[in-house]
């Protein structure tokens, strides 16, 4: 099989997103109570608690869906010629999850932790420019 | 779109073929097209929804609902496959 080497940067970005988001999603599922308590303790003074639960659930859905869609993107990139459909879906979903997380950190006025999300967001943005 | 391994190897549709097209048209918001591609998708999404709900909220009759929903989904997938194969061959 002749492999098209121009897709290697996108392949690494997808692997990065899979590692980050599936770990995060699985951790949120296994330790849901601990995650919820931590998020509520930082955010409940700013916005109502049912909104915090809803936002955390949305983040969980976007993260796991984005992670598994990125796995699909890797398979598609290897076995199909020049098709990015699942890579597009995966990277867009992961970027949306990062935006929601950033919003949460900004609302809780935790500016130092908001900076650390930008590290992941830069990688996702490079992926977005490669895919669209 | 991801290729189906069974279809590539044997040339026949597998019981899950159509799922991806259906999911993508659902993401685009085209419900009718989505149902035409793969009718059991509605049941599968309902199954996932009840599963997540049961996981987080621990419903009273969650296990029973899940069991019957699982059986219904399987029967629907089988009926869909048989109808599809009959319509393709006839």
ipTM of the complex: 0.76
Mean pLDDT on A52-59: 91
In a domain, B59, yes or no: yes
Mean pLDDT on B32-48: 93
In a domain, B79, yes or no: yes
How many CB atoms within 10 Å of residue A54? 11
Give chain A's mean pLDDT.
91
Say what the pLDDT of residue A12 is.
95
Q: Which domain holds residue B53?
A: 37-90
Q: Which domain holds residue A124?
A: 14-131
In a domain, A108, yes or no: yes
Task: Please give the DSSP secondary-structure letter assigned to residue A7.
Answer: G
In a domain, B57, yes or no: yes
pLDDT of A6 over the 90 cut: no
Residues A74-90 have pLDDT tens digits of 999 888 878 889 999 99
Say what the pLDDT of residue A1 is.
54
In a domain, B61, yes or no: yes
Q: Which of A4-8, A108-112, B37-41 has the least mean pLDDT?
A: A4-8
Mean pLDDT on B73-86: 94
Check: CB of residue B52 under 8 Å from CB of residue B69.
no
Q: Which of A12-26, A117-131, B47-61 has the least mean pLDDT?
A: B47-61
Residues B45-70 have pLDDT tens digits of 999 999 988 988 888 888 999 999 99
Say what the pLDDT of residue B40 is.
94
Residue B71 — pLDDT band, cuts 50, 70, 90? Answer: very high
In a domain, A100, yes or no: yes
Helical segments of chain B, H only: 5-10, 19-28, 31-37, 41-57, 62-89
The CA distance from A100 to A59, in Å, is 7
Mean pLDDT on A30-34: 91
Q: What total number of domains does chain B contain?
A: 1
CA of B48: which chain A residue's CA is closest?
A61
Whether B1 sits inside 8 A of A32 (CB atoms) is no
The CA distance from A101 to A20, in Å, is 14
Whether A85 sits inside 8 A of B3 (CB atoms) is no
Q: What total number of domains does chain A contain?
A: 1
Residue A11 — pLDDT band, cuts 50, 70, 90? Answer: very high
In a domain, A29, yes or no: yes
In a domain, B42, yes or no: yes
Could you tell me if B2 lies within 8 Å of chain A, comparing CB atoms?
yes
In a domain, B29, yes or no: no
In a domain, A118, yes or no: yes
Could you tell me if B14 lies within 8 Å of chain A, comparing CB atoms?
no
In a domain, A6, yes or no: no
Say what the pLDDT of residue A83 is.
85
């Amino acid at each position: 099989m002749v492999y098209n080497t121009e897709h290697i940067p996108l392949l690494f970005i997808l692997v990065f997103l899979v590692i980050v988001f599936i770990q995060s999603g699985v951790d949120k599922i296994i330790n849901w109570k601990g995650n919820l308590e931590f998020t509520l303790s930082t955010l409940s003074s700013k916005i109502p608690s049912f909104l915090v639960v809803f936002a955390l659930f949305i983040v969980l859905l976007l993260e796991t869906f984005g992670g598994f869609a990125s796995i699909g993107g890797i398979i598609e990139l290897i076995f199909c010629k020049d098709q990015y459909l699942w890579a597009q879906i995966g990277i867009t979903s992961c970027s949306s999850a990062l935006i929601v997380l950033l919003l949460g950190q900004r609302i809780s006025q935790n500016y130092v932790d908001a900076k650390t999300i930008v590290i992941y967001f830069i990688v996702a943005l490079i992926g977005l420019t490669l895919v669209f | 779109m991801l290729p189906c391994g069974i279809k590539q190897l044997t040339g026949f549709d597998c019981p899950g073929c159509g799922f991806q097209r259906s999911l993508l048209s659902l993401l685009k918001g085209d419900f009718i097209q989505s149902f035409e591609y793969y009718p059991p998708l509605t049941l599968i999404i309902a199954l996932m929804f009840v599963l997540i709900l049961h996981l987080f909220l621990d419903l009273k009759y969650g296990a029973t609902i899940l069991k019957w929903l699982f059986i219904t989904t399987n029967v629907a997938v089988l009926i869909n496959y048989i109808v599809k194969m009959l319509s393709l061959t006839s």
